[in-house]
């Protein structure tokens, strides 16, 4: 004999399942292994304090809720950024890729995905994304980009156009394509509208010029540096430029009051190693490059650049 289930029971079962599902939210488990370094080492999500992890996870939960409620372009970008701040760059790229499918003209989405391809050492993919972002972005404006980790003054300093060009030039620099990086950084200077952005662009442009043997042009660039500029975020870049200019000793760059000591030392250590490389002391440069990559801030640009230089020097 056939048995029948009433519609009411089906509906009740559905709501029960929905309620059970809500009471047991999906637990996010990041993929610990992220990539291989340019030297063949495993890059894994770093350990954090309980407090830092809780703060980052709370930010992620908020971004998830906003995205689920309204999957706009910016809510998608923030979801990807929150995964990236947890060092889960693979998950961030997945979110940005889905975002590009939904918003194919989003130069901001390409900008953020390209950044995370750099983090994973996938430079060709990064360059492709930044080229697309540059093609799509408006060139006659500077759109303020909100900070994920606000500075001490809680004032966003960068703009989207700057970030696209800055990271675009970086990707070429990391590949050793210094001529391409140079032209991009020179255009990036047009969008560097405050001292923090100026010193960041000047620093990478200086290194790009020196790598091509354009010492006179590099020194002329240093002459435009104003040591009285008030720097809010990019003190590491300012110190590197002052060292190149001869106004700061190399050992001063290893002293830091930055809360993120590993990041600061990766950034400044790379600058010091570069200086020795320019001066022809390859042995000292290699030793400091190795010190940088023995640190923990493997997503820092100085760390990645040290890897790139070591891989070429070896």
Angle at 70 between CA 65 and CA 72, to 5 degrees: 115
The DSSP string of the chain is ------HHHHHHHHHHHHHHHHHSPPPP---SEEEE-TTS-EEEPPP--HHHHHHHHHHHHHHHHHHHH---HHHHHHHHHHHHHTT-HHHHHHHHHHHHHH-TT-HHHHHHHHHHHHHTT-HHHHHHHHHHHHHHS-SS--PBPPPSS--TT-----BHHHHHHHHHHHHHHHTT-HHHHHHHHHHHGGG--SHHHHHHHHHHHHHHHHHTT-HHHHHHHHHT--TT---SS-HHHHHHHHHHTTSS-GGGGG----S-HHHHHHHHHHHHHHHHHHTT-HHHHHHHHHHHHTSS-TTSHHHHHHHHHHHHH-
Take residue 36 and report the two structure tokens written for it. Answer: 């291989």
CA–CA dist 282, 303 (Å, integer): 18
pLDDT digit string (tens) for the chain, length 314 residues: 433 333 343 333 433 434 443 444 467 888 899 999 999 999 999 999 999 999 999 999 999 999 999 999 999 999 999 999 999 999 999 999 999 999 999 999 999 999 999 999 999 999 999 999 999 999 999 999 999 887 777 888 999 999 999 999 999 999 999 999 999 999 999 999 999 999 999 999 999 999 999 999 999 999 999 989 999 999 889 999 999 999 999 888 877 665 556 777 788 899 999 999 999 999 999 999 999 999 989 999 999 999 999 999 98
The strand pairing partners of 36, in sequence order, are: 42
pLDDT score, position 20: 42
CB atoms within 10 A of CB 216: 9
Number of Cβ within a 10 Å radius of residue 35? 17
At 147, list the tokens: 């900070």
Q: Are 111 and 160 in contact (CB under 8 A)?
A: yes
CA 139 to chain centre: 22
Q: Which two tokens stand for residue 264?
A: 């600061």
Q: What is the pLDDT of residue 4?
A: 37
């Amino acid at each position: 004999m056939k048995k029948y289930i009433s519609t009411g029971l089906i509906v009740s079962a559905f709501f029960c399942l929905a309620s059970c599902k809500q009471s047991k939210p999906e637990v996010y488990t990041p993929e610990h292994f992220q990539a291989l370094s340019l030297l063949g080492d495993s890059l894994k999500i770093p350990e954090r304090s309980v407090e830092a992890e809780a703060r980052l996870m709370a930010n992620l939960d908020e971004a998830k809720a906003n995205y689920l409620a309204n999957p706009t372009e910016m809510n998608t970008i923030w979801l990807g950024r929150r995964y990236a701040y947890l060092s889960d760059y693979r998950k961030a790229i997945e979110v940005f890729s889905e975002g590009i499918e939904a918003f194919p003209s989003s130069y901001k989405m390409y900008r953020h995905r390209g950044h995370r391809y750099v983090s994973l050492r996938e430079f060709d993919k990064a360059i492709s994304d930044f080229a697309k972002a540059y093609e799509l972005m408006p060139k006659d404006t500077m759109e303020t980009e909100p900070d994920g980790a606000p500075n001490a003054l809680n004032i966003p300093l960068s703009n989207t156009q700057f970030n696209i060009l800055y990271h675009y030039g970086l990707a070429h620099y990391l590949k050793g394509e210094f001529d391409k990086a140079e032209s991009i950084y020179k255009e990036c200077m047009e969008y560097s509208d405050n001292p923090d952005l100026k010193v960041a662009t000047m620093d990478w442009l200086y290194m790009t010029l020196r790598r091509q043997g354009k010492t006179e042009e590099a020194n002329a660039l240093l002459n435009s540096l104003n040591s009285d500029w008030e720097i809010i975020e990019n003190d590491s870049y300012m110190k590197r430029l002052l060292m190149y200019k001869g106004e700061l000793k190399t050992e001063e760059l290893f002293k830091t009051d930055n809360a993120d000591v590993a990041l600061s030392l990766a950034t400044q250590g790379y600058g010091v190693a570069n200086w020795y490389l320019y001066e022809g002391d390859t042995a000292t440069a290699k030793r400091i490059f190795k010190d940088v990559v023995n640190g923990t801030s493997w997503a820092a640009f100085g760390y990645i650049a040290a890897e790139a230089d070591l891989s070429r020097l070896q």
